[in-house]
């Protein structure tokens, strides 16, 4: 597998990459809105994917209208989310635990750059069984500007003391790929949605599953 860089680290997104949380997030959002007499379409939800928590709140209010009861929605969302976690737990994405174990064994540093608030991210990772692998994580509440701004990826690279140009970034959303590319990283995407045309210009690989992405990352470090 030929490439023009020497890789020394990896930066992972979390939701939809390390853990299979995106379907849960969408379901809980749609149920919460329905309980209040509103509908969140799949298309509308997709437009919010990858945004940090504070920007999602603004996007929801803008999309759903000024009459939308945002506080009631969030209260219901938290209840539905906690109920879902209690009932179903959280699954790691296929191939990810094995990849993290292999990177750890090889001494290749990695970190997590997630738009989710840090405390919520750590809870989800604990439930998925991945937390023992995760030593370095930066959440959406720890940066000034969220994705698609590159700040969170720049800081995630600093955490592992590797230049952005020598990092592989694994993402699942267009705004995440944009942020990682603008941080100078070698980008790999496992999309949850249809990939916009512009993403192909900045993404080195668009792959159908995290399992395949794990194999590609392993090969990039061995080539």
What CATH number is given to the structural domain containing 43? 1.10.150
Same domain, 108 and 168: yes
Structure confidence by residue, pLDDT tens digits, 106-116: 999 999 999 99
Same domain, 183 and 111: yes
pLDDT at 4: 67
Q: Pairing state of beta strands 110-113 and 205-206?
A: unpaired
Residue 21 phi/psi, 5-degree rounding, is -95, -25
The domain in which residue 200 lies consists of 9-20+90-222
Same domain, 205 and 111: yes
pLDDT at 200: 86
Residue ending a domain, among 88, 108, 129, is 88
pLDDT at 162: 98
Provide the 10 A C-beta neighbour count for residue 143: 19
pLDDT at 46: 87
Residue ending a domain, among 34, 65, 88, is 88
Provide the 10 A C-beta neighbour count for residue 220: 18
- Per DSSP, 141 falls in state G
pLDDT at 154: 98
- What is d(CA 26, CA 147) in angstroms, rounded to the nearest whole number? 19
Low pLDDT (below 50) residues in the chain: none
Same domain, 65 and 99: no
Closest CA to 125 of 166, 89, 160, 164: 89
């Amino acid at each position: 597998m030929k490439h023009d860089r020497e890789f020394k680290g990896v930066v992972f997104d979390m939701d939809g990459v390390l853990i299979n949380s995106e379907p849960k997030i969408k379901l809980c959002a749609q149920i919460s809105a329905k309980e209040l007499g509103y509908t969140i379409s799949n298309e509308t939800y997709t437009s919010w994917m990858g945004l940090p928590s504070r920007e999602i709140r603004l996007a929801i209010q803008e999309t759903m209208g000024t009459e939308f009861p945002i506080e009631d929605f969030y209260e219901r969302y938290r209840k539905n989310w906690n109920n879902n976690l209690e009932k179903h737990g959280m699954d790691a994405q296929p191939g990810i635990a094995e990849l993290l174990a292999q990177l750890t064994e090889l001494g290749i540093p990695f970190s997590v750059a997630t738009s989710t608030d840090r405390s919520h991210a750590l809870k989800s990772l604990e439930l998925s069984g991945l937390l023992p692998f995760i030593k370095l994580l930066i959440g959406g509440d720890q940066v000034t500007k969220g994705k698609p701004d590159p700040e969170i990826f720049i800081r995630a690279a600093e955490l592992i003391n590797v230049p952005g140009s020598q990092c592989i970034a694994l993402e699942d959303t267009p705004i995440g790929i944009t942020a990682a590319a603008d941080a100078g990283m070698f980008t790999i995407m496992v999309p949850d949605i249809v990939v916009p045309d512009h993403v192909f210009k900045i993404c080195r690989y668009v792959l159908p599953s995290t399992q395949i992405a794990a194999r590609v990352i392993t090969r990039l470090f061995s080539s």
